[in-house]
Structure 1
Amino acid sequence: MSGRDVILGRVRRALADVTPDGTPYEAALPRDYLGEHGERSLARTVELLAENLADYRALVHRCAGVPELSALIAGLLAGRGARSVLVPPGLDGAWLADTGAEVTRVADEAASTAAELDRVDSVVTGCAVAVAETGTLVLDGSPDQGRRRITLIPDHHICVVRVPEQVVGSVPQAVARLDPRRPLTWISGPSATSDIELNRVEGVHGPRTLEVVLLGDA
């Protein structure tokens, strides 16, 4: 008998005399807690997102439309000296229209090894939702974001947030939009950790540099 069987057996015995309750999980407990701290205009919510992203040492950029976005991404890749960029299968091709032929586009493939992904200079993705109060980006593995590991291994991540439709004020508002069955990655700034002496080291568990582009107007 495995440890799993032992644990599940104990759970079954503990629940043996519990009367079944057909109440749906969503209705089992009242969830009337505060959904957002204070009231903010959309413009202020976007500003708060930008402030908190920057506070986490992400580099924040703004642009109004796709043509400007394409030039911006090309400039960010050139500024990093990137020779290769990972491209999720559903990424809008127009976002990379100005990226020169000297930058190799690498497809997000299941067969790619961690070592192969580590040799890629940058990755460009969209996102599922961005949380203003915490400066957090959430990726859910949608076609414009790709598999989770492509945003954890390359050293440089450019993430595009569509404003205003992908911006929410708080974590509860974000959770309400997300499908818990999808592989969710919550990103608050570039990867960082500190040792016992509080020496900060970046790039340990993910990209060392996170650049966020706010696409659109508030």
Structure 2
Amino acid sequence: MSSRDRILARIRRAVGERGPDAEGEPGASGRAGAPGYARIPRDYLRVHGVRTPQESADLLAAHLAEYRAAVHRTDRHGLPALLAGLLDARGARTVLVPPGLPPSWLSRAGQARVADRAASTARELDAVDSVVTGCALAVAETGSIVLDAGPGQGRRRITLIPDHHVCVVRAPEQVVDSVPLALALLDPARPLTWISGPSATSDIELDRVEGVHGPRTLEVVLLTAAED
């Protein structure tokens, strides 16, 4: 069995497709069924420390800020005004809205709405000023936002091409402490996008350039429970 065959077999097991197991023999499907998969050691720490939900949200906010993302906090009553203010402060004239985004979120925003269409070209998306989405979850220990193209998130490319992304995270229910805990909740067959701050890169002299592989500006709104 070649190295290529072994790598592809491991990928098939990870995503749940039927394929040969690690030894090249016909195996059961996927994540829990294949014998080779079951023998993978998982003796690593699943989380580093014990935190309250508030402490996890605070850690997420601290890491996001360290990565140069702007972090805001509000409840459902203040969310429409906050989102409208963020878009106005950006000078946005258009905002891309995924079809599953709750209508109330942008009820006070005056920007022209752009639909998430399969036919949209990269040039058309590049002309959009801002995009507002929800998320699948967020990881406190790494300061990462995870999108899986679910309701309120839209296609992957709408958060990679426009220059300004506003992402709403429901805290604490969408905040998990660690990557292992996140992976246990995510569907590996979905198109997962992991975001840790604005897109950035640097050259050999460590000159940082933002907006290369995705949005130049990332704003994260931690949506907390309202005190009615």
Residues 122-141 of structure 1 aligned to structure 2 (within 5 Å): 122-141=130-149
Distance 1:108 1:20 in 2: 41
What CA RMSD, in Å, does the superposition of the two structures yield over aligned residues?
Answer: 2.1
CA change 1:206–1:20 in 2 (3 A) is closer
Q: Which segments of 5 or more consecutive residues in structure 2 lack a partner in the other structure?
A: 10-20
Structure 1 stretches of 4+ with a deviation exceeding 2 A read: 17-23, 25-33
- Residue 68 of structure 2 is aligned to residue 57 of structure 1: yes
Pick aligned residue for 1:180 from 188, 193, 208: 188
Name the counterpart of 2:156.
148
| Distance in 2 (alpha carbons) for counterparts of 1:97 and 1:37 | 40
Kindly state the Cα deviation for residue 121 of structure 1 after the two structures are TM-superposed. 0.1
For the residues of structure 1 that align with 2:222 and 2:151, how far apart are their CA atoms?
Answer: 19
Give, as a single letter, the amino acid of the residue that structure 1 aligns with 2:92.
A
Aligned positions of 1:1-218 closer than 5 A: 24-25=33-34, 27-65=38-76, 67-100=77-110, 103-217=111-225
Cα distance in 1 for partners of 2:201, 2:41 equals 36
Identity of aligned residues (%): 67
Q: Is the deviation greater in 31-40 or in 167-176?
A: 31-40
Q: Which shows bigger deviation, 175-184 or 32-41?
A: 32-41
Shift of 1:38: 1.1
- CA drift at 1:176: 0.5
Identify unmatched segments of 5+ residues in structure 1. Answer: 1-6
Shift of 1:28: 3.2
**How far did residue 29 of structure 1 move?**
2.6
Find the aligned partners of 2:40 and 2:210 in 1 and give their Cα distance: 40
Partner Cα separation in structure 2 for residue 18 and residue 125 of structure 1: 42
| SS of alignment partner, residue 78 of structure 2 | helix
2:151 counterpart SS class: coil
**1:217 Cα offset (Å):** 4.3
In structure 2, distance between residues paired with 1:173 and 1:19: 31
**CA deviation vs aligned residue, 1:106-149 (integer Å, no higher than 9, x gap):** 00000000000000000000000100000000000012100000
Q: Give the AA of the match of 1:77.
A: L
Report the equivalent of 1:4: none
Aligned length: 204
- Greater RCO (CA < 8 Å, at least 6 residues apart): 1
Q: If you compute each CA radius of gyration, which structure gives the higher value, 1 or 2?
A: 1
> How far is the alpha carbon of 1:210 from its aligned partner?
0.2
TM-score (norm 1): 0.88
Q: TM-score, normalised by structure 2?
A: 0.84
CA distance in 2, matches of 1:29, 1:197: 40
In structure 2, how many angstroms separate the alpha carbons of the residues matched to 1:29 and 1:190?
34
